[in-house]
Chains A and B, each alone.
Chain A
Amino acid sequence: MSGGAADPVNGTGRDRAGGERADGALLDVEHLQVLFPVRAGIIASRASAYVHAVDDVSLQLREGETLGIVGESGCGKTTLIRTLMRLVDPTGGTIRYRGREITHATRRELGRTRRELQMVFQDPQSSLNPRKRVGQIIGTPLRLRGLQGGALDERAAQLLARVGLNPEHINRFPHEFSGGQRQRIGIARALALEPRLMMLDEPVSALDVSIQAQVVNLLEELQAEFGLSYVFVAHDLSVVRHVSDRIAVMYLGKIVEVSPATELYDKPIHPYTAALLNAIPIPDPRENRARTRQVIEGEPPSPIDPPSGCRFHTRCPFATEICEQVEPPLAEYPGGHLAACHHPRNVTPAEVAGTVRSPASPLTAGDELPQAA
């Protein structure tokens, strides 16, 4: 069993039951749900079904930490961080930022908090206004902070230099830059408001490998320099491993596993995590040949009508009857490792026997903890 106070994954979990918030939780998300209506009919358009994009997700982020969120397309990872940014309205659950509930806060109520939460988008091409010069793109948020004239220009030039661009290029348009440089502009724009938390949505996926490494290095430098916290969303598990302290794995709107980064890769507990890791070829021919590859069959089911019980049971090689019937709760394993699975991998019988139900479990999950085989 994991130790109470020092529990690195769910530090606030038990305290929360007593109504208290543990120190250091910058972001505290409980049972967050985002459903998108699917409308049918032309005249009387009504919601006939819902896309379960994010379905009862709880997680915490501590100050200075990088939380990686991984999963395949359609798993809800982007919707999740857009909701945390308050760009999408949640259907249920709560979001607390530094102890303050912002779940349904209006623009005005958000106020200063909005500045502290910034986002970097996947596609630097479409997230920069093509008709604005770089100086204007970075200058707009600076103006919001009350800077103007020479001070504004100077600060914009500083920001450009900080992200590794030539400050003399301040009057250029986005199309005059390469993809990697545009991503740097996006990062400079986010930095302009001196954020504390940055949501990074696939920030390097559109870039070439050698440029990816440059941007990853830049993000790490900025984190150390400004004490930033990151939520880093990506489908590339190797990049996520490189940047993250902790990683959450999502499948069809649910978190199936959360763990410290190294632990997740060494000892994946959920069969989906294991399958994901196994699917990635290692850029090393000898190690690749030595590895036994188990290709997982099928494709993710539709999030409009997700499977009952464990959502992965339709593709899981270990699925049994219980997986179809009972949604597994997130069980707490040693080392701050949570996994929602009835048939956990890479764990000892003693570890299985010692599990407890995490308060981060979905409300619809059953009470059945995994049984030692």
Chain B
Amino acid sequence: MSLLEVDDLRVSFATEEGVVHAVDGVSFSIDSGEVVAIVGESGSGKSVTAMTLMGLTRSPNAMFEGSAKLRDLELVTASDEELMSVRGAEIAMVFQDPMSSLDPVYRIGDQIVEQIRAHDHEISKAAAMERVVELLERVGIPRARERVRSYPHQFSGGMRQRVMIAMALSCSPSLLIADEPTTALDVTIQAQIMRELSALREETGAGIILVTHDLGVVADIADRVVVMYAGRIVEQGSLDDLFYDPQHPYTWGLLGSITRIDRDRSQRLPAIPGMPPSLLAPPEGCHFRPRCPFEFDSCRSVPPLEARVQDPPGHRDRCWLTPEEKRAHRQVDGEIGLAVEGTVTS
């Protein structure tokens, strides 16, 4: 059995302008010790998906359908009390902005002690503090014993993110959700944090859901990739499937529009034209249709997310083109990209 099984998850929010379908039928699973990356741009629904697993999107205007099962526990319908006991202990989350996720008026050590004691009622304060020191050392904070007495503002961005990871680890969760954990950090610090996350997965066997827009980070750490666009999964598969045999035109566009440090400047980047649709009034059928140079009649109905390439079976996409057509269309100057005529418009 998978650690987490998400099946046809739908999240929508009632707003003054209408209903926003932020997550529109998302299904994926993750095993222990596995890193699954959810990739997408702003508004693709990747963060809402992740936050819903933690019960953080619950609000009077939110509506949920479908299922997300952590082993035997149904997270979508779980009571707030059930979620409370799972959150932190079974599922932990690391957010993009470590400054706003730490309480500025409490010492770092006390904040982590509080979390440990909330889930372990037996442990003494002193023993919990010992554990905090160990955890901080584990995530690479020097002089941890002194620094437990520091306040968040006395830490740099990278150090705060380490504190967040230590906090997430404090109750040995089986699932760690990292939402853009390195986006706010410099590259040398990003490399350090990614190394910590990799080590952690190996040591604890936790499953990691990594929400990111950075395909470099994905290539570095993920085992499988889920690509989201405008609330839906457009493609999912193993790391190599996604990078070397991408099936959805949006994935081609993403891969084509990234600049690489190991490549010389080419004439121009094969950018994806236009912008993502409004989720208040998404286009009928395939959501990528208005930006896709290969759209045809069938695209007015939503393509199912299914395996279209024979093997491997885990590689699924949501595009009506045949695998042969895809192979023919996805090249721009010998590299994968979205072939678009003319100049960029918005």
Interface residues of A (CB under 8 A from B): 72-73, 164-165, 178-181, 184, 208-214, 216-218, 220-221, 235-239, 241-243, 261-262, 265, 275-288, 293, 295-297, 299
Closest 5 A/B residue pairs (Cβ): A213-B271, A213-B257, A281-B216, A281-B220, A208-B41
Q: Does B258 interact with chain A (Cβ within 8 Å)?
A: yes
Q: Does B86 interact with chain A (Cβ within 8 Å)?
A: no
Query: Given that A210-B271, A212-B257 are known contacts, is A279 also in contact with B190, CB under 8 Å in the complex?
Result: yes
With both chains docked as a complex, state the minimum distance between the C-beta of B273 and any C-beta of chain A, in angstroms. 8
User: Which residues of A lie under 8 Å from residue B265 when comparing CB positions?
Assistant: 241-243, 261
Contact A287 B275 (CB under 8 A): no
With both chains docked as a complex, state the minimum distance between the C-beta of A292 and any C-beta of chain B, in angstroms. 13
With both chains docked as a complex, state the minimum distance between the C-beta of B217 and any C-beta of chain A, in angstroms. 6
- The DSSP consensus for interface residues of chain A is helix
Interface string of B313-346 (1 = CB under 8 A from A): 0000000000000000000000000000001111
Q: What is the chain B residue whose CB lies nearest that of A272?
A: B188
Would you mind naming 15 contact pairs between A and B with Cβ atoms under 8 Å apart?
A72-B187, A164-B343, A208-B213, A210-B253, A236-B259, A241-B260, A241-B261, A242-B269, A280-B191, A281-B194, A283-B243, A283-B255, A284-B260, A285-B219, A295-B192
Q: Given A164-B346, A280-B191, A285-B239, list of 8 further CB < 8 A pairs?
A: A208-B41, A213-B272, A241-B259, A276-B188, A279-B187, A280-B261, A281-B216, A283-B243
With both chains docked as a complex, state the minimum distance between the C-beta of A140 and any C-beta of chain B, in angstroms. 23
What separation, in Å, do the CA atoms of A27 and B41 have in the docked complex? 38
Contact B262 A282 (CB under 8 A): yes
User: Which residues of A lie under 8 Å from residue B268 when comparing CB positions?
Assistant: 217, 220
Interface string of B20-50 (1 = CB under 8 A from A): 0000000000000000000001100000000
Q: What is the chain B residue whose CB lies nearest that of A74?
A: B186
What separation, in Å, do the CA atoms of A287 and B195 have in the docked complex? 17
Contact A209 B190 (CB under 8 A): no
Contact A277 B261 (CB under 8 A): yes
Contact B186 A283 (CB under 8 A): no
Q: How many A-B residue pairs have CB under 8 A?
A: 146
Q: What is the chain B residue whose CB lies nearest that of A163?
A: B346
User: Which residues of A lie under 8 Å from residue B215 when comparing CB positions?
Assistant: 209, 283
Q: What is the chain A residue whose CB lies nearest that of B41?
A: A208
Interface string of B124-151 (1 = CB under 8 A from A): 0000000000000000000000000000
User: Which residues of A lie under 8 Å from residue B207 when comparing CB positions?
Assistant: none
Which B residues between 186 and 214 are near A, CB-CB below 8 angstroms? 186-192, 194-195, 213-214
User: Which residues of B lie under 8 Å from residue A261 when comparing CB positions?
Assistant: 265
Contact B191 A238 (CB under 8 A): no
Contact A239 B259 (CB under 8 A): yes
Query: Given that A279-B188, A280-B216 are known contacts, is A238 also in contact with B269, CB under 8 Å in the complex?
Result: no
Contact B187 A276 (CB under 8 A): yes
User: Which residues of A lie under 8 Å from residue B270 when comparing CB positions?
Assistant: 213
Contact B257 A265 (CB under 8 A): no
With both chains docked as a complex, state the minimum distance between the C-beta of A246 and any C-beta of chain B, in angstroms. 13
User: Which residues of A lie under 8 Å from residue B189 when comparing CB positions?
Assistant: 72, 299
Q: Does B240 interact with chain A (Cβ within 8 Å)?
A: yes
Q: Does B85 interact with chain A (Cβ within 8 Å)?
A: no
Q: What is the chain B residue whose CB lies nearest that of A283?
A: B215
Contact B41 A237 (CB under 8 A): no
